[in-house]
Amino acid sequence: MTAADQTWKASGMLDGRVALVTGGRGGAGRAICERFVAEGAEVYAADLTGEGSIGSVGAPGTFLRLDVTSEDEVRSAMATVEAAHGKLDILVNAAGIEMELTIEETSLEQWNRIMAINVTGTFLPSKYALPLLRRSSHASIINFGSYDGFIADPKLAAYCATKGAVHALTKAMACDHGPEGIRVNAICPGYIDTPMLEQFLPEGVDSAAGRAEAEYVHPLRTIGTPTDMANLVNWLASDEARYATGQLWVLDGGLSAQIQQMRFP
Ligand SMILES: NC(=O)c1ccc[n+]([C@@H]2O[C@H](COP(=O)([O-])OP(=O)(O)OC[C@H]3O[C@@H](n4cnc5c(N)ncnc54)[C@H](O)[C@@H]3O)[C@@H](O)[C@H]2O)c1
């Protein structure tokens, strides 16, 4: 258990809400499902497989098989939720992949794949969730952007482009659907300790050297945890955030606030 895991105490703030979390068996998704369940929500963890990137043992929420790039599967997932509850209160678009490549190294097939999962995979669940969200008086969509949607990490060109698109889509959706009482926000994490980060850090997040180096570049001198992401997502899903919409909520331990010189030891 990390310090971040002790930051919250369930208070039933999502009692009676119905939530669907894409990428719900991944690092972020699983922590979000766990928090939502603890707060009293009925939760669908939608992912490619029950294993996702984390595995199914002790996994919170009801697993729903969903490929976010498939219009048919998205329609069918929303039909399942509608049949069981007649409404949806919270949609979290957390499914995503990254690729460490410059544009020259990126094939058209890879480009199309990352766009399909990260961008189309935000568009489709949002589009087909709208009719169900309109039946809620607490409707909230939370998208996953990234600090990489504002500033670039080397060799993440296509990934950065997808996150910039998610940021713009978030604002556009918030403007279009705010008048219907549907809030739309994006969280924009920096380095968070999930299987995706393990893939990104050259020496792996579990190697002492790789972790120490990654921690050092943050003003808070630490990497975030899935619980940190779930805390922010939970707040955005709740009535405490009733006046928050159309915003890009950066969660990066101060990483993007600093100038390069801070990184000199
Ligand atoms: N971990 C970080 O440091 C970090 C930083 C910034 C943003 N993010 C974003 O956070 C989100 C969650 O990432 P994570 O760190 O939990 O990664 P993760 O790899 O642990 O989880 C991603 C999940 O998405 C699922 N997924 C992939 N393709 C899918 C598809 N076509 N349909 C349905 N599900 C699919 C995977 O099975 C996996 O369970 C992503 O959008 C990612 O870009 C992560």
Average pLDDT of span 98-110: 98
Which ligand 1 atom is the nearest neighbour of the CA of 195? 20
Is residue 28 included in any domain, yes or no? yes
pLDDT tens digits, 17-31: 999 999 999 999 999
pLDDT of amino acid 66: 98
Give yes or no for residue 161 CB within 6 A of ligand 1. Answer: no
Between 45 and 57, the higher pLDDT residue: 45
Residue 214 and residue 143 share a domain: no
Residue 174 and residue 116 share a domain: yes
Residue 242 and residue 183 share a domain: yes
Is residue 148 included in any domain, yes or no? yes
Which ligand 1 atom is the nearest neighbour of the CA of 24? 39
pLDDT of amino acid 239: 98
Residue 140 and residue 58 share a domain: yes
Is residue 215 included in any domain, yes or no? yes
pLDDT of amino acid 45: 98
Residue 142 and residue 47 share a domain: yes
pLDDT tens digits, 215-249: 998 999 999 999 999 999 999 999 999 999 999 99
Is residue 212 included in any domain, yes or no? yes
Is residue 48 included in any domain, yes or no? yes
Show which residues are catalytic: 159
Give yes or no for residue 230 CB within 6 A of ligand 1. Answer: no
pLDDT of amino acid 3: 75
Is residue 233 included in any domain, yes or no? yes
Q: Residue 6 pLDDT > 90, yes or no?
A: no
Question: What CATH number is given to the structural domain containing 241?
Answer: 3.40.50.720
Give yes or no for residue 224 CB within 6 A of ligand 1. Answer: no
Residue 126 and residue 212 share a domain: no
Residue 213 and residue 155 share a domain: no
How far, in Å, is the centroid of ligand 1 from the Cα of 261?
31
12 confidence band (pLDDT: 50, 70, 90):
very high
Which ligand 1 atom is the nearest neighbour of the CA of 147? 6
Q: Residue 38 pLDDT > 80, yes or no?
A: yes
Residue 89 and residue 206 share a domain: no
Number of domains within the chain:
2
Range of the domain at 209: 193-223
Q: Residue 13 pLDDT > 60, yes or no?
A: yes
pTM: predicted TM-score of the whole model, two decimal places: 0.97
How far, in Å, is the centroid of ligand 1 from the Cα of 79?
24
Percentage with pLDDT > 90 across the chain: 85
pLDDT tens digits, 161-213: 999 999 999 999 999 999 999 999 999 999 999 999 888 776 555 677 888 88
Give yes or no for residue 162 CB within 6 A of ligand 1. Answer: no
Residue 202 and residue 90 share a domain: no
Residue 51 and residue 83 share a domain: yes
pLDDT of amino acid 207: 74
Give yes or no for residue 34 CB within 6 A of ligand 1. Answer: no
pLDDT of amino acid 197: 87
The 3-class SS string of the chain reads CCHHHHCCCCCCCCCCCEEEEECCCCHHHHHHHHHHHHCCCEEEEEECCCCCCCCCCCCCCEEEECCCCCHHHHHHHHHHHHHHHCCCCEEEECCCCCCCECCCCCCHHHHHHHHHHHHHHHHHHHHHHHHHHCCCCCCEEEEECCHHHCCCCCCEHHHHHHHHHHHHHHHHHHHHHHHHCCEEEEEEECCECCHHHHHHCCCCCCCHHHHHHHHHCCCCCCCECHHHHHHHHHHHHCHHHCCCCCCEEEECCCHHHCCHHHHCC
pLDDT of amino acid 264: 63
Is residue 176 included in any domain, yes or no? yes
How far, in Å, is the centroid of ligand 1 from the Cα of 98?
8
Average pLDDT of span 52-67: 94
How far, in Å, is the centroid of ligand 1 from the Cα of 235?
20
Residue 237 and residue 129 share a domain: yes
Residue 171 and residue 152 share a domain: yes
Give yes or no for residue 21 CB within 6 A of ligand 1. Answer: no
pLDDT tens digits, 61-100: 999 999 999 999 999 999 999 999 999 999 999 999 999 9
Is residue 3 included in any domain, yes or no? no
